[in-house]
Amino acid sequence: MPDEVTGLFGGVFNRGGVATGDMAWLQALLDAEAGLARALERAGLAPTGSGEAVTKAAVAADFSATEVAEVAQACELTGNPVPGLARVLTRRVPPFAASAVHKGATSQDIMDTAAMLLARQAIDATRRDLARAAASAARLAAGHRGTLMIGRTLLQQAVPVTFGLVAAGWLAGLDSALQGLNTIRAERLTVQLGGAAGTLASLAPSGPLVVPLLAAELGLATPPLPWHTERLRVIDVAVAMARVTAALGKIARDVTLLAQTEVGEASEGAGDNSKRLPSGGAPRRGGSSAMPNKNNPVASVAILGCSRQVPGLLATLVASAEQELQRAAGAWHAEWQPFSDILRLGGSAAAWGAELLDGLGIDPSRMAANLAATGGLPLAERVTGLLAESLGVAMAHDLVASAAAKAVSSGLPLRDVLLASAEAERAGITAEQVDAALDPAGYLGASDEFIDAALAVHERQAGK
Amino acid sequence: MPDEVTGLFGGVFNRGGVATGDMAWLQALLDAEAGLARALERAGLAPTGSGEAVTKAAVAADFSATEVAEVAQACELTGNPVPGLARVLTRRVPPFAASAVHKGATSQDIMDTAAMLLARQAIDATRRDLARAAASAARLAAGHRGTLMIGRTLLQQAVPVTFGLVAAGWLAGLDSALQGLNTIRAERLTVQLGGAAGTLASLAPSGPLVVPLLAAELGLATPPLPWHTERLRVIDVAVAMARVTAALGKIARDVTLLAQTEVGEASEGAGDNSKRLPSGGAPRRGGSSAMPNKNNPVASVAILGCSRQVPGLLATLVASAEQELQRAAGAWHAEWQPFSDILRLGGSAAAWGAELLDGLGIDPSRMAANLAATGGLPLAERVTGLLAESLGVAMAHDLVASAAAKAVSSGLPLRDVLLASAEAERAGITAEQVDAALDPAGYLGASDEFIDAALAVHERQAGK
Amino acid sequence: MPDEVTGLFGGVFNRGGVATGDMAWLQALLDAEAGLARALERAGLAPTGSGEAVTKAAVAADFSATEVAEVAQACELTGNPVPGLARVLTRRVPPFAASAVHKGATSQDIMDTAAMLLARQAIDATRRDLARAAASAARLAAGHRGTLMIGRTLLQQAVPVTFGLVAAGWLAGLDSALQGLNTIRAERLTVQLGGAAGTLASLAPSGPLVVPLLAAELGLATPPLPWHTERLRVIDVAVAMARVTAALGKIARDVTLLAQTEVGEASEGAGDNSKRLPSGGAPRRGGSSAMPNKNNPVASVAILGCSRQVPGLLATLVASAEQELQRAAGAWHAEWQPFSDILRLGGSAAAWGAELLDGLGIDPSRMAANLAATGGLPLAERVTGLLAESLGVAMAHDLVASAAAKAVSSGLPLRDVLLASAEAERAGITAEQVDAALDPAGYLGASDEFIDAALAVHERQAGK
Amino acid sequence: MPDEVTGLFGGVFNRGGVATGDMAWLQALLDAEAGLARALERAGLAPTGSGEAVTKAAVAADFSATEVAEVAQACELTGNPVPGLARVLTRRVPPFAASAVHKGATSQDIMDTAAMLLARQAIDATRRDLARAAASAARLAAGHRGTLMIGRTLLQQAVPVTFGLVAAGWLAGLDSALQGLNTIRAERLTVQLGGAAGTLASLAPSGPLVVPLLAAELGLATPPLPWHTERLRVIDVAVAMARVTAALGKIARDVTLLAQTEVGEASEGAGDNSKRLPSGGAPRRGGSSAMPNKNNPVASVAILGCSRQVPGLLATLVASAEQELQRAAGAWHAEWQPFSDILRLGGSAAAWGAELLDGLGIDPSRMAANLAATGGLPLAERVTGLLAESLGVAMAHDLVASAAAKAVSSGLPLRDVLLASAEAERAGITAEQVDAALDPAGYLGASDEFIDAALAVHERQAGK
């Protein structure tokens, strides 16, 4: 369970304001305990005023270093920090309220509920940044629907696309990831309260009343029954975050490729050279320690640095679902750190993503130059389609392949090689037909419709 | 991409009828091609009758060994089997229909669409078996709501529960997993059709018409735009299966623990000694090659053998979402095998789970004996609750802890140690109070309410 | 990159003294920079005295909060903390030594070298604790070679073993893991120094001299060539730690199973009730917040809590080996946190393991009772062996299986059922033969030889 | 456990001749049983001639479909195929030899030993292909030590390197991976023989004699004691393969980047246009179904398709090391498929790697053009070094950074901008100095020494 990660590497891996460090956990645990005390009071199981008294005492920032250390030390003895926390908290409340502290709960109730509180905070921060990123992607999709570029498959030039269509594809991923967060936020964040073995026996007969009261106090949902060893909620939160980093990782990968020196179609931080230290000095964003000429795609690299940590963490959480009987011996404990990490990395990636798409520079002239660089080869498919009408698909494919090979080896334009071929002559293909076929703007297919469809989904989802 | 896995290990890892081997893939690829031909014909882009002609030719079982080999050989040359398949299929159709084969599509269109067809088949088989398993769990939850047993946390005896509550917890996981499958089935299984770089340029201007026609032909949904490098659908299918194995893995782990010789509270294959080879001879289900006395929990072990392979496969698929530009160089290819495996393992686990819960034997007398074995210690929490009213939580906890320790070391019942303590006397605790506190049937808390809640969710979800 | 993790959960996940938090990283980065300055001076590339001057300035504890914040802020701008660190460090040295700071190095040189310094510290701490654990396992193996217990396969009672043999199996894993650490420590911890793209061009022509000097200064090995994008060393360190947690996870799993209330053959913290808070009050080690009777196997649970996080982290590191060209865009960054985590978790698991095996309590009388509980069934194999001589393996297997089944259903001892069978009579099996076959002490096979072999490996490896 | 995977996708994922399908497993299991029978005979525990008799019967190819089906069916009943196999094999031997079949062994003994036999075959095939790949890399490193190209960090142009140095880095990874295979091959492939619970009780007192005899018969090593639940050997084999795919994945990633249309510095299949179907027709290697102009880097893509599946599989195997007591309930079963897969994928990647490096085309003229494309910017570091002598590192870095920025924005060469700057004039920098600094051939640092070092390691390791 990392501390706030605000230190050396936090600028990369702890952006976006998702707090999962020690103090965030401590406060979340205290919030769960305080919510429980208030719920108990409302259910008539704790003295009047005890809920408020516990709540007042349950402020992590008020804890002395000694108190925090006592909680931590207890963690070593009991395997989790809650027993120590309950003891310290009990000491901090007035005597009349002591019986309201941790009453009916087991450690896992407090840990699991706190985890859901942390998840909510992380999900909300991530939703905010993802919405910003999606808005930028929508803007790029709409604004660049006419910006021609070469499509690349297996990193080879293929056929023309528009940058608007590329951005529409990004947008679709972002919107889907955002929708996933919305669903989890609304449906899967519940309190956990089951007591020692999930029966709430020590609160009988009022246990079933306390659970929804606790949920109401904390703004979480009420589960049908305790889920201490039914861990699909944990998986669902983690998956929602993994979908975020998956969608962003694809975008970041694309940007690093488009920003390559030899490609030069995109660049980070357009119009924003002000990303410098407050002192005004170097290093600037994207600067290299050894190469002053570099303009590194730092945001994209940071997103990939986040997104690539997530699959392994998700695997740990999925594997941890195999929890024994009424409390797991290890599998539950193995959740805490990867759960925190995945929240933090998802939030960081989203924050970087919002910034990346906000400041993404697009260079239509480099796009046009790259598209033209291979003398018509990317339009070979279109020519194939033309010839296929008379020659059939397979023969047309072979003919154009051989013409393309000849164009490559001879350095002649595809146009000339094709028109000189016996097959083209036999099929009656004219120069006008070939020239039309080789105009990329005429070979964009349904790009506009697809952009419109992605934008329509986005607007519907954004409630516009 | 494993072949049918009907061989040596298929009995364990390929139950439930999920087909993802070579012939299943071949047929799914052919189904996608045939659906495309019919859609093209309906859109007026292919000759009348060509859809039917291609469909007739697109039967994997009719392929000769030479034809299959040609497809496989082409896979080595092109990195996927579709180009070879398209070539063979073209040869198999009457000349008039040749132009309808693979027209407008790229290899990935066919592969991705075929993957969705395989997913649908796998999800349907898994839903069927999961529904069976959930029905059994519901039956166990309702039937055993009065069956007392000891709850165990960190594998130590804790406080009493009922087996009905345990089964209700299992049911909640199964129903949640089933709901996940239903959602994916309804919302996320779409065709993929984008052509060389996602523009459908070679079908212009009719591309956008063809996509929904293809979806209608194949019974899949229409995506807003091509998703060749937006892979959240792949992740969503895999996650839905991972939720299945997560829910089942928890159950299987519990059964292996409850079936331990020293615990003896559950056993597999109750009332079903007939699981033998057709020859009538041994080995029987659960037999060991070296120990004739063994009755191994084979179904549970098989579920765990499946479920534990899933997190790593899911990690691969999540990592594979980082797909470059208009077609990934490797990440897409890395999906095929884990996607197939996760479908197969999810389906196998569900089939084993249905059988496991169907035939699960429960031994209430062993449960009662285990509950009584430690002389009241599991009720210590209740006694603590009693004392807490007068002593406060912390002090009561310590007192009962010391009494419990003394009971363990001296061999005396907890009851006697407690009643002999000065603190109990001071607090005016009577023998009647202690005896009542030590009756496990009186300490089940909200078990019944939780069972009812799980059953209510189940019935609502099952549409009853 | 978590901070020191000394907080709430550090007692569980940061034991053993492995430091990988912010301050540890900061110091390791400074050590690398200081070592470089000294090496440069020795190579004649930096002014006399500059090595010492930089070393004096390179003390993390002396950094002001503002300086640390500047480093962290720079991390956001450049994607790693080194450029900011080099700038701050340069300011901290006397002017004459400024040119010795970071000269010739790129950020990754410093990060990778620092990672190897952290790895060395972690490996040494882990070796120390693992050696303690192995010594305890050896003591248990030797001391319990005559302690009979039932072997359990698939969690079912099988045939007799001794606890000494169980401990010998644990020892074999620990010794193998320790040997792995030793090998990595000796062979794979090298400096990294390549400059901007791995040529050391800015130190030409002296670059190749500086590398071994840097290695000598830091006590690391010299690689044949820079390994900035050849990451097998990173994998090798991680694997060595994963082998540690794999060996310990098996032991911890066994202990949790043997410590089950119903089994009771092992317990943690034997003879050590003093694991309490300094205040002398509860909670004690293994105490539960809700159940005062619990004696939880905290060390084993903590080990499993560590070990189960490792496979996913290792997967991330293995996947990160795919690093582009002369510096990876993301894959390198994705290494930092899992690398730190895996060092810390390996070290924590080893510390817990040393403590676990040190204080492991064994209860031979419970072992004997469990062995006797099923009336001879675990010896069925031996009886099968006896009968196989006359009946053949398969038939003997079937006969004993049916006798065992009858014994189970009738409650009669296996002995009586067998002697009453027609087949036994036909084969001339006598009561004496059956009684001898049913004596577990006579059915231990090569247990002693195997214990001796494990101890011999241990002593050879420990240099005794 | 996939069948031979020779089908649709085998050309990609089952190259290199590693057999892990059903028939390979069946034969390996039979080899283990036959080796055991021979060992038993040599130990005097089985009739004379029985070893040979069992060996003759233990030929998978001779099994009828019915017999294979019986084995497979038994797998469903017992959770693994060995009991059924032992039964069928017993029927196939002459009566006198029946007692030699499976005597003393448990299913896991046969499975684990068979897994080691499969591993040996896979490792040997992989070593052969990896040695080929390494030889090619060495040839490229030596032959291209003078081939200048631009080094790229974070996918941005950085400073010059040579292609020889790039290949030397690849070589270092390949040699390290090969050495890992050699070590595992020599030290970690052992038989497993422990009987029902690891004591070899049913072979007493001769058990310890049989183990080395079995090892001798099978050409495997003898372990000190049974390792049925000490799984570091399984991990070690898997790691050795993961190191192979890690080393190859880095190379394949580099090739896909260098082969990009816009980069064009490398290409697959140079001088080998003959990779076509036997029929002579298309598709050719690297052909696209939709784009006849494509020349896809199929080998690199296939390597990445393999390598990216490995981290998740390795995670499963590492997680599986947590095996309960004397035989795991699920964790062992979960090993079979990922173990097979990782052997197959490692072997396939190595086969592709040998072919890739064998036929890799390098285009020095494109390398030179790309190096020159940015007008001296990649030499900025060198100029910085020059200026640092007079201005200090930080100021020089800032000055060159601003000159580079001006060069980029103005389109002027860096040379002219620098010489026009006040600072350069103040520092007395001459045009000659700048021109020399801007010659890439003069800025290769220790590239040659590093190439030599990698070649020296290679030759030493290859025994030259």
> Under an 8 A CB cutoff, do B156 and C257 touch?
no
Q: How far apart are alpha carbons A447 and B198 in whole angstroms?
A: 8
pTM (global) more than 0.90: yes
Range in B234-238, B293-297, C198-202, D240-244 with the lowest mean pLDDT: B293-297
> Under an 8 A CB cutoff, do C373 and B158 touch?
no
Which residue has 């073993």 as its token pair?
Answer: C161
Q: How far apart are alpha carbons C402 and C384 in whole angstroms?
A: 11
What per-residue confidence (pLDDT) applies to D1?
Answer: 40
Strands (E), A52-155: 148-153
Provide the CB-side half-sphere exposure for D355 (13 A, CA). Answer: 23
pLDDT tens track for A137-159: 999 999 999 999 999 999 999 99
> Under an 8 A CB cutoff, do C208 and D446 touch?
yes
Mean pLDDT of chain A: 91
What per-residue confidence (pLDDT) applies to D6?
Answer: 53
Least CA distance to B255: which residue of chain C?
C155
Please give, rounded to a whole number of angstroms, the shortest distance from the CA of A157 to a CA of chain D: 6
Asked if residues B26 and B60 have their Cβ atoms less than 8 Å apart, the reply is yes
The dihedral built from the CA positions of residue C190, C194, C199 and C201, taken in this order, carries a sign that is: negative
Is C282 near chain B, with CB under 8 Å?
yes
Residues of A carrying an active site annotation? 288, 327
Residues of C carrying an active site annotation? 288, 327
> Under an 8 A CB cutoff, do A76 and C312 touch?
no
Q: How far apart are alpha carbons A117 and A127 in whole angstroms?
A: 15
Asked if residues B230 and A230 have their Cβ atoms less than 8 Å apart, the reply is no
Contacts B226 to A, Cβ<8 Å: 169, 450
Please give, rounded to a whole number of angstroms, the shortest distance from the CA of D207 to a CA of chain C: 6
Q: How far apart are alpha carbons A282 and B51 in whole angstroms?
A: 65
Please give, rounded to a whole number of angstroms, the shortest distance from the CA of C3 to a CA of chain A: 5
Q: How far apart are alpha carbons A280 and B146 in whole angstroms?
A: 73
Least CA distance to D89: which residue of chain C?
C394
pLDDT tens track for B87-115: 999 999 999 999 999 999 999 999 999 99
Which residue type occupies C145?
A: R
Element (H, E) at D160: strand D156-162
- H helices within B188-285, ranges in order? 207-218, 232-258
What per-residue confidence (pLDDT) applies to B141?
Answer: 98
Nearest by CB: C155 against B256, B315, B384: B256
Band (pLDDT 50/70/90 cuts) for residue B293 is low
Assigned token pair, D139: 């040839």
What per-residue confidence (pLDDT) applies to B2?
Answer: 40
- The CA-CA-CA angle for residues C296, C301, C305, to 5°, reads 150
Is D381 near chain C, with CB under 8 Å?
yes
Which DSSP category does D361 fall into? Answer: E
Asked if residues A391 and A427 have their Cβ atoms less than 8 Å apart, the reply is yes
Q: How far apart are alpha carbons C412 and C43 in whole angstroms?
A: 86
Reduced to 3 states (helix: H, G, I; strand: E, B; else coil), residue C150 is: strand
Which one has a higher pLDDT value, A317 or D391? A317
Which residue has 């079908």 as its token pair?
Answer: B203
> Under an 8 A CB cutoff, do D276 and B77 touch?
yes
Q: Phi and psi of D299, rounded to 5°? A: -65, -45
Assigned token pair, C179: 């040997």
> Under an 8 A CB cutoff, do C225 and D200 touch?
no
Q: How many CB atoms lie within 10 A of CB D271?
A: 8
Which one has a higher pLDDT value, B51 or D278? B51
Contacts B409 to C, Cβ<8 Å: none
Is B288 near chain D, with CB under 8 Å?
yes
pLDDT tens track for A165-192: 999 999 999 999 999 999 999 999 999 9
What per-residue confidence (pLDDT) applies to C422?
Answer: 84
Please give, rounded to a whole number of angstroms, the shortest distance from the CA of C161 to a CA of chain B: 14
Element (H, E) at A42: helix A22-42
Chains sharing 3 or more CB pairs under 8 A with chain A: B, C, D
pLDDT tens track for B243-284: 999 999 999 999 999 999 999 999 998 644 334 333 434 445
What per-residue confidence (pLDDT) applies to D291?
Answer: 57
Which residue type occupies D44?
A: G
Contacts A225 to B, Cβ<8 Å: 165, 168-169, 172, 450-451, 453-454
Q: How far apart are the first and last CA of chain D?
A: 40
Range in A59-73, B133-147, B223-237, D317-331 with the lowest mean pLDDT: A59-73
Assigned token pair, C156: 């079912």
What per-residue confidence (pLDDT) applies to A117?
Answer: 98
> Under an 8 A CB cutoff, do B315 and A319 touch?
no
A260 Cβ neighbours under 8 A, 6+ residues apart = D152, D155, D156, D260, D262, D263
Which residue has 């072992």 as its token pair?
Answer: C367
> Under an 8 A CB cutoff, do D329 and C155 touch?
yes
> Under an 8 A CB cutoff, do D155 and A256 touch?
yes
Nearest by CB: C381 against D196, D225, D307: D196
What is the pLDDT averaged over residues B341-360? 98
Which one has a higher pLDDT value, D463 or B364? B364
Omega within 30 of 0 (cis) for the link into B283: yes
Tell me how many helices (H) and strands (E) chain D has: 19, 4
Asked if residues D167 and D194 have their Cβ atoms less than 8 Å apart, the reply is no
Asked if residues C96 and A306 have their Cβ atoms less than 8 Å apart, the reply is no
What per-residue confidence (pLDDT) applies to B292?
Answer: 55
Asked if residues B63 and D8 have their Cβ atoms less than 8 Å apart, the reply is no
Residue B402 confidence (pLDDT) above 90: no
Assigned token pair, A128: 């905010």
Using CA atoms, how far residue C383 sits from B76, B413, C367, D16, in Å, is 56, 41, 22, 48
What is the DSSP annotation of D82-102? HHHHHHHHHHHS-GGGGGGSS
What per-residue confidence (pLDDT) applies to B283?
Answer: 46
What per-residue confidence (pLDDT) applies to D66?
Answer: 93
Band (pLDDT 50/70/90 cuts) for residue B5 is very low
Surface of D (62-91) touching C: CB under 8 A: 79, 86-87, 90
Nearest by CB: C374 against B261, B315, B408: B261
Percent of chain B with pLDDT over 70: 94
Q: How far apart are alpha carbons C454 and C457 in whole angstroms?
A: 5
Which DSSP category does B327 fall into? Answer: B
Nearest by CB: B1 against D13, D306, D311: D13
Q: What is the CA radius of gyration of chain D?
A: 29
Reduced to 3 states (helix: H, G, I; strand: E, B; else coil), residue A321 is: coil
> Under an 8 A CB cutoff, do C400 and B292 touch?
yes
Reduced to 3 states (helix: H, G, I; strand: E, B; else coil), residue A276 is: coil
Which residue, C191, C137, C118, is CA-closest to C459? C137
Which DSSP category does A62 fall into? Answer: G
Element (H, E) at B153: strand B148-153
Which residue, D227, D191, D323, D325, is CA-closest to C158? D325
Reduced to 3 states (helix: H, G, I; strand: E, B; else coil), residue B309 is: coil
Contacts D381 to A, Cβ<8 Å: 290-292
Residues of B carrying an active site annotation? 288, 327
Q: How far apart are alpha carbons D454 and C223 in whole angstroms?
A: 10
Using CA atoms, how far residue C171 sits from A409, C247, C343, C357, in Å, is 66, 9, 22, 11
Surface of C (333-362) touching A: CB under 8 A: 333-334, 336-338, 341
Band (pLDDT 50/70/90 cuts) for residue B376 is confident
What per-residue confidence (pLDDT) applies to C378?
Answer: 84
Residue B39 confidence (pLDDT) above 80: yes
Is B257 near chain D, with CB under 8 Å?
no
Note the ipTM here. Answer: 0.94
Which residue, A266, A301, A272, is CA-closest to A284? A272
List per-residue pLDDT tens for chain D, 464 residues long.
Answer: 444 445 788 889 999 999 898 899 999 999 999 999 999 999 999 999 999 999 999 999 999 999 999 998 888 899 999 999 999 999 999 999 999 999 999 999 999 999 999 999 999 999 999 999 999 999 999 999 999 999 999 999 999 999 999 999 999 999 999 999 999 999 999 999 999 999 999 899 999 999 999 999 999 999 999 999 999 999 999 999 999 999 999 999 999 999 999 999 999 986 443 343 334 344 457 765 555 556 799 999 999 999 999 999 999 999 999 999 999 999 999 999 999 999 999 999 999 999 999 999 999 999 999 999 988 888 887 888 777 777 777 778 778 888 888 887 788 888 888 888 887 787 777 888 888 888 999 999 999 999 999 999 999 998 87
What per-residue confidence (pLDDT) applies to B434?
Answer: 82
Please give, rounded to a whole number of angstroms, the shortest distance from the CA of B162 to a CA of chain D: 25
Burial of D410 (0-12, 13-18, 19+ CB in 10 A): exposed
Which DSSP category does D262 fall into? Answer: T
Asked if residues D16 and D131 have their Cβ atoms less than 8 Å apart, the reply is no
Asked if residues C421 and C134 have their Cβ atoms less than 8 Å apart, the reply is no
> Under an 8 A CB cutoff, do A261 and D374 touch?
yes
Nearest by CB: D370 against A262, A284, A287: A262
Please give, rounded to a whole number of angstroms, the shortest distance from the CA of B42 to a CA of chain C: 46
What per-residue confidence (pLDDT) applies to B398?
Answer: 79
Residues paired with A221 in a beta bridge: A190
What per-residue confidence (pLDDT) applies to B288?
Answer: 57
Using CA atoms, how far residue B406 sits from B409, B413, B431, C285, in Å, is 5, 9, 18, 17
> Under an 8 A CB cutoff, do D196 and C323 touch?
no
Assigned token pair, D171: 């070589």
Which one has a higher pLDDT value, A209 or B285? A209
Given a cut of 50, the residues of chain C with pLDDT beneath it are 1-5, 271-283
Q: How far apart are alpha carbons C382 and C386 in whole angstroms?
A: 6
Omega within 30 of 0 (cis) for the link into A283: yes
